[in-house]
A and B are shown apart, each in its own frame.
Chain A
Amino acid sequence: MTCEPGDLPPKAKRASLLYMRDMAICAVVYVGVVFGAVTLIRHMPFSLPQWAVVIVALTPLIPALMMVRTYMTYLRSMDELGRRIQTEAWLISAAIVGLGTFTYSFLEEWAHFPRLDLVWIFPALIFFWGAATFFVRRRYK
């Protein structure tokens, strides 16, 4: 979504491919850890003590941290323009999600819309970052 390896010089192309590979691994690990955590807490014949439930519930943060590390490595490999596009895209994404959640809170309270779990904020940030990257890149072209 954020890189077109065909248009890039060899060094940037390599960084881009490494980024896509590492991010795919992180995504697979993330899904695995989430399913593992849910299974361990909800679908086991024994019940874990509360402190263990808290620890298991926080385990998806580990692959999320891996994703950030992968992204930061990729960001550092970019030139100034690439970094600028990425950070502008993050700004737009944070603005849309931030103001969107604020507005949605009013809809929850006043128009009785369904409650939104906080866990959806992260995917929303990623989705709008991807979309914003597409539009910001087009503007700089």
Chain B
Amino acid sequence: MANRMSSRPLLTLVVKRTFRSVAIYTSLYVILTFVSAGAVRVLHPSGALAIALALVPAVAAIGIVRPYILGLREMDEFQRRLQYEAILIAAATTAFASVAYGFLEILAGFPRLPAFCAVLVTVGAFALATVFLNLRHRV
């Protein structure tokens, strides 16, 4: 407990810096997505150009993950453990949701959902798990 209290200022700095970098790259991702969508609407591309435009936002997506992993390595053991638990919960939720709905799509005729629904489930579960775990441990 004393250790955790004494490392709090450094921890806050690392967490803040990590989430600031993630927020910047997420904003860039959203901007690039809109730019690509706009270009597709105007140019009506096909073939290689359409593929290239679809891949443009992925550049920023890599930028979202990298600072998070680097920040995670700098966090103290307690904060890192909370993040790891949240990641495991998010991965398990995504796996279950995709298996459950995937079979309902194929076998029970449920409407087909686009693949990006998986990332929405992952991000949503990760956010909820982070909030829940932080509340549970009263950080």
Give me the interface of A with B, judged by CB distance under 8 Å: 34, 37-38, 41-42, 50, 53-54, 56-58, 60-61, 64-65, 68, 83-84, 87-88, 90-95, 97-99, 101-112, 115-122, 125, 129
Contacts and interface: CB of A to CB of B under 8 A. Distances in A.
Interface in B87-130: 87-88, 90-92, 94-96, 98-109, 112-119, 122-123
B54 A118 contact: no
Interface of B: 33, 36, 40, 45-47, 50-51, 53-55, 57-58, 61-62, 64-65, 68-69, 72, 80, 84, 87-88, 90-92, 94-96, 98-109, 112-119, 122-123
Nearest to B77: A80
Contact of A91 (B57, B64, B72): B72
Contact of A98 (B51, B57, B122): B122
B115 A61 contact: no
Prevailing SS type, chain B contact patch:
helix
B105 A64 contact: no
Contact of B61 (A56, A92, A99, A105): A99
A84 B80 CA distance: 9
Contacts of B53: 106, 110
